[in-house]
Amino acid sequence: MKLWGGRFSKNTDQLMDDFNSSIHFDSRMYRQDIIGSAAHVRMLGHCGIIPAADAELIRKTLFEILEDIENGKVEFETSAEDIHMNIETLLIARIGDVGKRLHTGRSRNDQVALDIRMYLKDETQTIKGMLKALLEILVNMAEEHYETIMPGYTHLQRAQPITFAHHLMAYFQMFRRDIERLDDAYKRMNIMPLGSGALAGTTYPLDREMVAKELGFSAITENSLDAVSDRDFVIELASCLSMIMMHLSRFSEEIILWCSSEFSFIELDDAYSTGSSIMPQKKNPDVAELVRGKAGRVYGSLMSLLTLMKGLPLAYNKDMQEDKEAIFNAVDTVKLCLPIFTRMLETMRVKKSHMYNAARGGFTNATDIADYLVKKGIPFRDSHEIIGRMVAYCIEKGKNIDEMSLDEFHTFSDKIDKDVYEAISLETCVNERKVPGGPSIESVKASVRSGREYLKGIQ
């Protein structure tokens, strides 16, 4: 007999049970469901809504059930539909009629809203911790590479020299924003919905604040209809997770390019690479490729959730049960990707000389020679034109600008002296860019310092 079986004269069909049941995916919220129920029942006892002794027994038994679940002693039943009714069924099986008092002043609609908030609060903190670990690796690596010169790109064409530290710290900024976004989403997750009932609250004099306090919520929801039908916080989290995956995916794309022979900027550690079953020479960046690929499934979750919610009238609708697999999959995927990506990054070998040579080879100092002429009194547009011709000459001769003799330089401008070699060295090009946020050693050191400060403040 179903917990809601009173008005029905026959059992549900097996097909119906299988279709309707969510236990195979919502059982993972067992802990939140039990802790939420324990807080609810304590409040019921405290407010005199049920006898205090009953409340105590229910609470005690709920924690016993929790322990049994954790020790693998409990089997959930499809016929009990979802985690909420499975736990309640177990409770009633153990303590009979007393257990039937637990659901007083509560509906599964506010209960599921509570559980999913609690579950996602925990997961958000876990993911934040993983992002923090990644940020720590990024600043550690940046400190090793203040002087590792590499080409910076626009249009994937070599543009101007930067350092590997500068490049790494760009990702630091992205993942830092991801943490800030999670913090912001967390604020709206952290509101307690219990007491909203099915949709219209309850006539029992519940102390909602007491429950919120016990469960560590910062406030209670202010509208019962909204509280049971709001999944904005799920969508917001999915959006934060999509952004994290987008960042990981861009980084992955660069790693994949960098370990190709064409770039050859890095080599991945054997422990985080794979071989080919047919081509003996292959060493493939599977981690980065899988991370890039998995971004798709997280975006998919976000799209599913937005679409799921767009046509729902107030308040609760069963469609909303579909929110769980989508957000769980997104959460699982991000939790799978972040740690392995971090390990792959910290174990990879950086080929400094290859990076340096690539920066030397691509005329990445062309802007600086133009600026050199500007400092000698030539208007920028004219100097741009002169250097353009110089580059064309070098391409024809197959040399770099800094390989030209002074005589060759003079065929382009008599303003060029031998100090040009110093002025256009890659080291000068990088380190004269002292502007805050720029690639010079001192600018990047400042950004690492501020990054470390930020990391200290994260809780």
135 or 235: CB nearest ligand ARG: 235
Q: How far is the CB of 458 from ligand ARG (least distance, A)?
A: 32
Please list, in sequence order, all residues whose beta carbon lies within 8 angstroms of the beta carbon of residue 361, skipping any fewer than 6 positions away.
158, 400
Q: Which of 40, 108, 158, 167 binds ligand ARG (CB under 6 A)?
A: 108
Q: Which of 73, 318, 418, 456 binds ligand ARG (CB under 6 A)?
A: 318
110 interacts with ligand ARG by CB under 6 A: no
Stretch that binds ligand ARG, among 106-114, 140-148, 289-297, 351-359 (CB under 6 A): 106-114
Q: Which of 61, 79, 109, 413 binds ligand ARG (CB under 6 A)?
A: 109
Q: How far is the CB of 257 from ligand ARG (least distance, A)?
A: 43
Stretch that binds ligand ARG, among 117-125, 151-159, 313-321, 353-361 (CB under 6 A): 313-321
Phi and psi, residue 127, nearest 5°: -65, -35
CA distance 138 to 370: 34
86 or 160: CB nearest ligand ARG: 86
Please list, in sequence order, all residues whose beta carbon lies within 8 angstroms of the beta carbon of residue 419, skipping any fewer than 6 positions away.
none
158 or 231: CB nearest ligand ARG: 231
73 interacts with ligand ARG by CB under 6 A: no
CA distance 170 to 174: 7
Phi and psi, residue 348, nearest 5°: -75, 150
Please list, in sequence order, all residues whose beta carbon lies within 8 angstroms of the beta carbon of residue 346, skipping any fewer than 6 positions away.
137, 140, 141
CA distance 399 to 396: 8
224 interacts with ligand ARG by CB under 6 A: no
Q: How far is CA 424 from CA 282, 420, 440, in A?
A: 38, 6, 15
Q: Which residue out of 24, 218, 260, 276 is catalytically annotated?
A: 276
The site for ligand ARG, by CB under 6 A, has a size of 10
320 interacts with ligand ARG by CB under 6 A: yes
Nearest to 300 by CA among 338, 331, 326, 268: 326
Q: How far is the CB of 309 from ligand ARG (least distance, A)?
A: 13
DSSP one-letter code for 284 = B
Q: Exposure string (b/e) for 391-421, b if CB count within 10 Å is 16 or more?
A: eeebeeeeebbeebeeebbeebbebbeeebe
Stretch that binds ligand ARG, among 107-115, 209-217, 257-265, 289-297 (CB under 6 A): 107-115
Q: How far is the CB of 182 from ligand ARG (least distance, A)?
A: 24
Q: Which positions from 77 through 96 interact with ligand ARG, judged by CB under 6 A? A: 82
Q: How far is the CB of 177 from ligand ARG (least distance, A)?
A: 32
Q: How far is the CB of 54 from ligand ARG (least distance, A)?
A: 25
Angle between the N-to-C axes of helices 208-215 and 30-46, in degrees from 0 to 180, rounded to the nearest 10: 140
Binding mask 347-366 for ligand ARG (x = CB under 6 A): --------------------
18: tokens are: 């299988």
Q: Which positions from 21 through 50 interact with ligand ARG, judged by CB under 6 A? A: 22, 26
Coil, strand or helix at 152: strand
CA distance 225 to 195: 11
Q: How crowded is residue 105: how many other Cβ atoms within 10 Å of its Cβ?
A: 20
Please list the residues that pair with 153 across neighbouring strands.
158
- Say if strands 149-154 and 349-350 run parallel, antiparallel, or are unpaired: unpaired
Stretch that binds ligand ARG, among 108-116, 141-149, 292-300, 343-351 (CB under 6 A): 108-116
Q: How crowded is residue 199: how many other Cβ atoms within 10 Å of its Cβ?
A: 17
Q: How far is the CB of 261 from ligand ARG (least distance, A)?
A: 51
316 or 372: CB nearest ligand ARG: 316
Q: Which residue out of 9, 155, 353, 405 is catalytically annotated?
A: 155
276 noted as active-site residue = yes
Stretch that binds ligand ARG, among 11-19, 267-275, 300-308, 315-323 (CB under 6 A): 315-323
Q: Tell whether the torsion through CA atoms of 390, 396, 401 and 403 is positive or negative.
A: negative
79 noted as active-site residue = no
**Number of Cα atoms under 13 Å in the Cβ half of residue 296:** 4
Q: Which of 29, 44, 98, 112 binds ligand ARG (CB under 6 A)?
A: 112
Taking the alpha carbons at both ends of the chain, their separation in whole angstroms is: 47
108 or 433: CB nearest ligand ARG: 108
321 interacts with ligand ARG by CB under 6 A: yes
Q: How far is the CB of 31 from ligand ARG (least distance, A)?
A: 16
CB 121 within 8 A of CB 189: yes
Q: What residues are annotated to the active site?
A: 155, 276
Chain residues binding ligand ARG by CB under 6 A are 22, 26, 82, 108-109, 112, 316, 318, 320-321
